[in-house]
Amino acid sequence: MQILVTGGAGFIGGHLAESFLADGHDVTVLDNLEPFYTKGLKRHTLEVHREIAAGRDVDYQFVKDDVRDPDIVQELVADADVVVHQAAQAGVRESVDNPRKVTEINVSETVNLLEASKEADVERVILASSSSVYGKPKSLPYEEDHPTEPVSHYGVTKLTQEHMARVYTELHDLPTVCLRYFTVYGPQMRPNMVISNFVSRCMNGEPPVIYGDGQQTRDFTYVADVVDSNRTLLESDAADGDVLSIRSSDNISIQKLAETVRDQLAPELEIVYESAREADAEHTRASAEKAGELIGCEPLRTITEGVGEFIEWYQANREWYEPLVRSSISRESRSSGLSQRRRWRPCTY
Ligand SMILES: NC(=O)c1ccc[n+]([C@@H]2O[C@H](COP(=O)([O-])OP(=O)(O)OC[C@H]3O[C@@H](n4cnc5c(N)ncnc54)[C@H](O)[C@@H]3O)[C@@H](O)[C@H]2O)c1
């Protein structure tokens, strides 16, 4: 199968491309290497792809270009059997600071991609959506039909993307599936994510810092669970035209996350608390029932296993990964004198 992965140099797209290559598929990655956090991490991701492809009888191509360019998108989609769309300006906080950019990227590029996929008659488009589409919970866990009232610009763009996909399925018979991800973590995650921040601090004898009282809860989703659902959907039409939530097995508080990381690395450290951020949902919790029923994907990984695997990977890759995380942490410290609205914070989704 020929698969186009947009945003394939990023965290989740990188893992997806890696697993598709390992399964023997031909993969094209389209990514503009957006300098949102760091290019170093993306270069490493692309090297991993090349290494995997070199050992197998598969075609691998990296195209450094922009998903907003309709010509390049049309050309690449024309060769694809399935399109896996991960490219986005990700991050709630950044969208609040720069709403025009997040709208331009997340909405325009999706229309380009769906339009080209319709023309090329691709078998399926799988799109990355987000728990941010829900906003404040009316009930938990979020079933897929829970009201959607996003509380950030990012959430609005992801919801718009879902509606675009639905309209292309209904009007043009283009099979699409949107997967709502809940705070994904794992090897090669963006260095400004809360888990990499906690791990780095604890490894360096610094206490984890929690914004708020730590009682915000999240479905931290290990990236392997996200990969499983995308791999299943390559071959399954059971969720065409639908939206599915994807999660791992634990719903935990930021407090519990800090303790899980701290206890594995530096049990003697005391956790530190600072004032809460705006635009972050208090609680997110997914129901995995629909994904289980339609495509047979059950949440498999626990937080202790996932964090353990991430720490192992971090230690093996510390030489090049840690400087990226440390530079995020020092930006956080440098900006601590700025107003609350402008202050940089590690990202939790
Ligand atoms: N990581 C999470 O916890 C999480 C949670 C919910 C949803 N998501 C969604 O999953 C997807 C992947 O997220 P991620 O964490 O891997 O993010 P990421 O930032 O690591 O990856 C996104 C990739 O898209 C690329 N990109 C951005 N704009 C582009 C453009 N205009 N043209 C081409 N490439 C472009 C970037 O260079 C980057 O490599 C995103 O759509 C995100 O909104 C992620």
pLDDT at site 342 = 38
- Of 153, 160, 156, 161, the closest CA to residue 96 belongs to 153
pLDDT more than 70, % of the chain: 92
| Distance between Cα 173 and ligand 1 center (Å) | 26
How would you label 218-242 residue by residue, b for 16+ Cβ within 10 Å and e otherwise? Answer: bbbbbbbbbbbbbbbbbebeebbbb
What is the tens place of the pLDDT at every residue in 199-252? Answer: 999 999 999 999 889 998 989 999 999 999 999 999 999 999 999 999 998 899
Contact 165, 127 (CB under 8 A): yes
Whether pLDDT at 336 is above 80: no
Contact 201, 272 (CB under 8 A): no
What is the tens place of the pLDDT at every residue in 45-101? Answer: 999 999 999 989 999 999 999 999 999 999 999 999 999 999 998 878 788 888 999
Query: Residue of the nearest CA to atom 23 in ligand 1?
Result: 7
Compute the average pLDDT of residues 328-335: 72
pLDDT at site 348 = 41
Query: Residue of the nearest CA to atom 43 in ligand 1?
Result: 90
The token duo for 5 is 């992965």
Compute the average pLDDT of residues 282-303: 91
> Which residues have C-beta within 8 Å of that of residue 339, sequence separation ≥ 6?
none
- Among 86, 189, 221, the mutation site with the greatest number of ligand 1 atoms within 8 A of its Cβ is 86
The token duo for 90 is 């990700």
pLDDT at site 305 = 93
pLDDT at site 339 = 39
- Among 28, 44, 98, 184, the mutation site with the greatest number of ligand 1 atoms within 8 A of its Cβ is 184
pLDDT at site 280 = 61
| Distance between Cα 127 and ligand 1 center (Å) | 11
Compute the average pLDDT of residues 194-200: 95
| Distance between Cα 22 and ligand 1 center (Å) | 21
Model confidence band, residue 258 (pLDDT cutoffs 50, 70, 90):
very high
Query: Residue of the nearest CA to atom 18 in ligand 1?
Result: 10
| Distance between Cα 41 and ligand 1 center (Å) | 13
Ligand 1 pocket, residues with Cβ under 6 angstroms: 7, 9-13, 30-34, 36, 42, 66-68, 86-90, 105, 109, 128, 130, 181, 183-184, 190, 349
The token duo for 6 is 């947009």
pLDDT at site 349 = 40
Whether pLDDT at 337 is above 70: no
Q: Where are the beta strands (DSSP E) in the chain?
A: 2-6, 26-31, 60-64, 82-85, 124-130, 176-181, 184-185, 209-211, 217-218, 221-222, 242-246, 252-253, 272-274
Compute the average pLDDT of residues 189-207: 94
Which letter does DSSP use for residue 270 in this model?
P
Tell me the angle at which helices 70-77 and 109-120 cross, rounded to the nearest 10 degrees. 40
Model confidence band, residue 347 (pLDDT cutoffs 50, 70, 90):
very low
Whether pLDDT at 182 is above 80: yes
Rounded CA separation 100/334 (Å): 26
Whether pLDDT at 38 is above 90: no
| Distance between Cα 10 and ligand 1 center (Å) | 6
More confident residue, 132 or 336: 132
pLDDT at site 106 = 94
Query: Residue of the nearest CA to atom 42 in ligand 1?
Result: 90
Rounded CA separation 52/204 (Å): 32
Compute the average pLDDT of residues 259-274: 96
User: Which structural domains are found in the chain, ordered by start?
Assistant: 2-182+222-246 (3.40.50.720)
Compute the average pLDDT of residues 92-114: 90
Model confidence band, residue 344 (pLDDT cutoffs 50, 70, 90):
very low
More confident residue, 334 or 132: 132
Contact 175, 237 (CB under 8 A): yes
- Residues tagged active-site: 154
Query: Residue of the nearest CA to atom 11 in ligand 1?
Result: 86
Question: Among the atoms of ligand 1, which is closest to the Cα of residue 34?
Answer: 37
Whether pLDDT at 129 is above 50: yes
pLDDT at site 278 = 58
